Amino acid sequence: MTTIYGIKNCDTVKKSIKWLEKNNVEFTFHDFRKDGLSPELLNTFVETSSWDVLLNKRSTSFRNLPDDIKNNLTNEVMFNAVIEQPTLLKRPVLMSNAKTLVGFKENEYQENLL
């Protein structure tokens, strides 16, 4: 099963969902704002990807973090910050058949989902 994680009003999430629907890929949508982000789910993301890929350092959420957090990005600090603010993650995060795709790249979706 394919699950897409993100927030409903994110333009990149919308593009991703549109692509999935257009290509008849069955999926479920998990909205971080409505459905939350559990530590177990975040652990799965980190285990199947990396913080370099997952953390959206260009986001407003990241820019608004206190300097003591931004200057001390250990695994534990990042984990706790993302649990508190899931919008720190790049979106969408798509999980399908033990693969994790972060962001929306049409060619990556094509290769891994069709």
Three-state SS string across 37-96, please? Answer: CCHHHHHHHHHHCCHHHHECCCCHHHHCCCHHHHCCCCHHHHHHHHHHCHHHECCCEEEE
* 85 is known as an active-site residue: no
Cβ contact 25:114 at 8 Å: yes
Residue 64: burial class (beta carbons within 10 Å; 0-12, 13-18, 19+): exposed
Cβ contact 95:15 at 8 Å: no
Q: Which residue in 4, 6, 10, 102 is the catalytic one? A: 10
Catalytic residues: 10
